[in-house]
A and B are shown apart, each in its own frame.
Chain A
Amino acid sequence: MISFSAFVKRFFSDPVAIGAGVVLLVLVLMAVLAPLIAPQNPYDPLQLDIMDSEMPPSWKPGGDDRFLLGTDAQGRGVLSTIMYGTGISLLIGVGAVIVQAVLGITLGLIAGYKGGWIDSFLMRLADIQLSLSTLMMAIIALALFQAAFDANTYADYAIIMLIMVIGIAEWPKFARTVRSSVLGEKKKEYVDAARVIGLPARRIMWGHILPNTLTPVLVISTIQVAEAIMIEASLSFLGLGMPTDRPSLGSLIRSGFEFIFSGSWWITLYPALVLIALVLSLNLLGDWLRDVLNPKLRRGED
């Protein structure tokens, strides 16, 4: 572990970390403040005019100053849809990781602390689930969900379904990380001491061991948010994620895709660039955090 001031100092001496941090901060602010700063509310029918549809970015011939990045087929400003869409992508990404973390930390703590058959069972389950691939499970789960309900019900619950499906599918990553830290901590004297004075197992697990396993949890959380955002974008691109009237970045790219070939490239390009910037900055920050906080952790291994 390093002290907080050393941590801040290392951050400001690494140009890649600063760059990624700034990009992420800008995107998050843009998404959170969208209702206040977006030039237009693209989901308010009163503010839309079909005459504005498929306008190129404002610096191109035929562009309009009201729409910096052009408009889509319904006359919505691409800049405004991106601001709102980034918010939905981030909401699902962070929401899914919270579900993963709660499930994964709980099960990882139990597996590591209790050991025995509970441990073998949970880790076996984690192995099988990891090998099945999150994206594949999510595609099947959402395809069934979509086939089982009508379009309106689907649209209402899509956001919750996405968070739950991506959250449940990825718990093993947190569980494995927490479990291996718990196995290391369990042998230490403070745990013996706590046990000797008669504290209940639950109290030792949550109050004493858990705080010492949070560093690796923080490291993987960042990369997991990036992954959850990517999975959500892929699902929405397939039409299995957010509906087009409440689009995430993935659904924006989906609805722009058919216009690429008629020359309206901006409807796809700008959401795509924002998606890449978002995921890349999270991945770079995650890699940087891992290097600083825990040099032993490596991507793709546990």
Chain B
Amino acid sequence: MHILAFLIRRAAQAMVVMFVISIIGFSIQDNLGDPLRELVGQSVSEAEREALRDELGLNDPFLVQYARFLGNAVQGDLGTSYFFKRPAIEVILDKFPATFELVLGAVFIFVSVSIPAGIYCAIHRDSWLSRIIMTGSIVGISIPVFLTAIFMVWLFGVELGWLPAFGRGDTVTLPWGWDTGFLTWDGISHLILPSITLSSIMLPLFIRLIRAEMLEAMGTDYVRFARAKGLSTWRVRYVHAFRNTLLPVVTVGGLMIGTLIAYTILTETVFQWPGMGFLFLEAVNRVDTPLIIAYIIVVGLIFVVVNTIVDFIYTLINPMVKLPGAKG
């Protein structure tokens, strides 16, 4: 019953966000450049233009045009890219695996570093290593991601020459058309620098968050009781205390999705990673309107889907679960 209410509320919210995005997409399509010029060039007479405008439906009332745009969008038709001469949605989705694997690599690094580091800083709060980590994290917050990226390229790519710094390397096409870089050493070595860069912006924030939450959890009554009951230190720390730090971490993680997508644009630009963000910037420079719209809509969808998943995980790991939207 509650699950149903939750789902309905979530779906309503997702629809509001997607509605706003579709309005933005539509108004761009209508106002950025003249679609006729893109289609026929300068040499067509004014009368022919007017006829073509009618035929294309450019003279229809606003609502009719918007309904047509929405109908096409729902069927996955977001127009044809001016530059690639292919459906915009296809061009974007071709680049999706590259961005997805970059994010996956970053999340892997970031989870395997921030959790141990955060817990360590909470348990040994006065050791010299914790102090270094805590000081390093405020310096880390102050370094913009594109500078980290440039530094990585310069140090490991150019000066030391240890790792490739541009592009994606060799990829293998999986049966369902997904290009993966995970299956060749060349692909993995290309992934290392960009994913370290992408994870580096989230790291300081999450180390601090996990440390703060862990410190708070260790001072609560139930942890003291668990200790008094004679449970081992290990069990108290990692099963009882740590479990409760996960809630705020998941919440903040959900809030960071949009930021993470924005940072993929910066990371991909520096490393010339052939993903969606890099493609988007190229589309902006070429005023490739259908591609810009397609990117915004795909990113909006990803945002809505991930946020819903995060909300679900949240309700799963919260022992005092109360689904939002199921008040009373």
A interface residues with partner B (beta carbon < 8 Å): 128, 130-133, 135-136, 139-140, 143-144, 146-148, 226, 230, 233-234, 237-240, 253, 257, 260-261, 265, 268, 272, 275-276, 279-280, 283-284, 287, 298-300
Docked Cα-Cα span, A284 to B299, in Å, equals 34
A272 adjacent to B150 (CB under 8 Å):
yes
Given A147-B287, A268-B150, does the pair A139, B144 have CB atoms closer than 8 Å?
no
Known A-B contacts A146-B284, A238-B266; A226 and B142 likewise in contact (beta carbons under 8 Å): yes
Residue from the list B28, B142, B254 in contact with A276, Cβ < 8 A: B142
| Of the residues A237, A260, A265, A298, contact of B146 by C-beta under 8 Å | A237
Chain B, range 22-48, C-beta contacts under 8 Å to A? 24, 28, 31-33
Q: From B141, B147, B285, B296, name the one whose CB has the most chain A CB atoms within 10 angstroms.
A: B147
A-B CB contacts (within 8 Å), total count:
100
A141 closest partner in B (C-beta): B24
Question: Shortest beta-carbon distance, A246 to chain B, in Å?
Answer: 19
Interface residue B252 (Cβ < 8 Å from any Cβ of A): yes
Are B254 and A131 touching (Cβ within 8 A)?
yes
Does A144 contact B32, Cβ atoms closer than 8 Å?
Answer: yes
Task: List B contacts of A139 (CB < 8 A).
Answer: 262, 265
Report whether B139 and A280 are in contact in the complex, using a CB–CB cutoff of 8 Å.
yes
Which partner residue on chain B sits nearest A272 by CB separation? B147
Residues in B with CB closer than 8 Å to A135 are 258-259, 262-263
B292 within 8 A of A: yes
* Contact between A144 and B147, CB atoms less than 8 A apart: no
Contacting residue for A237 out of B205, B266, B292, B307, CB 8 A: B266
CA distance A261 to B165 in the complex (A): 12
Which of B150, B208, B212, B258 is in CB contact (< 8 Å) with A136? B258
Number of interface residues of B (CB under 8 A): 48
Q: Given A147-B32, A300-B252, are A234 and B266 neighbors across the interface (CB < 8 Å)? A: yes
Given contacts A136-B259, A143-B292, A300-B205, contact A148 B144 (CB under 8 A): no
Name the one of B146, B287, B303 contacting A253, with C-beta atoms under 8 angstroms.
Answer: B146
Please determine whether A147 and B292 come into contact, CB atoms closer than 8 angstroms: yes
Q: Are A280 and B142 in contact (CB under 8 A)?
A: yes
Residues of B within 8 A of A233 (CB): 144, 146
If over half of B's interface residues share one DSSP class (helix, strand or loop), that class is named, otherwise mixed; here it is helix
14 contacts between A and B (CB under 8 A): A131-B255, A133-B257, A136-B258, A139-B265, A143-B284, A147-B284, A234-B145, A237-B144, A238-B266, A284-B138, A287-B138, A298-B212, A299-B208, A300-B209
Residues of A within 8 A of B280 (CB): 143
| B290 CB, min distance to chain A CBs, angstroms | 12
Report yes or no: A131 in contact with B150, Cβ–Cβ below 8 A: no
Cβ–Cβ < 8 Å partners of B144 in chain A:
230, 233-234, 237, 275, 279
A265 touches B154 (CB 8 A): yes
Cross-chain contact B138 with A234 (CB below 8 angstroms): no
Residues of A within 8 A of B259 (CB): 133, 135-136
Tell me, in angstroms, the Cα distance from A268 to B153 when the chains sit together: 13
A290 to B142, CA, bound (A): 17
Q: Taking A133-B259, A147-B292 as contacts, is the C-beta distance between A260 and B154 under 8 angstroms?
A: yes
**Is B292 touching A144 in the complex (CB atoms < 8 A)?**
yes
Most central of A133, A257, A268 by chain B CB within 10 Å: A133
B158 beta carbon closer than 8 Å to chain A: yes
Tell whether, in the assembled complex, residue B261 and residue A133 are in contact, meaning their CB atoms are under 8 Å apart.
yes
A240 to B270, CA, bound (A): 15
Rounded to whole angstroms, the CA-CA distance of A298 and B208 in the bound complex is: 11
Alpha-carbon distance A237/B154, docked complex (angstroms):
17
Q: How far is the CB of B47 from chain A (nearest CB, A)?
A: 28
Asked whether, in the complex, the Cβ of B285 is within 8 Å of the Cβ of A276, the reply is no
CB pair A253–B147 under 8 Å, yes or no, is yes
| Min CB gap A270→B, angstroms | 12
In angstroms, Cα B17 to Cα A300, docked, is 24
| B154: chain A residues within 8 A (beta carbon) | 260, 265
A239–B281 contact, CB under 8 A?
yes
Could you tell me the distance between the alpha carbons of A265 and B151 in the complex, rounded to whole angstroms? 11
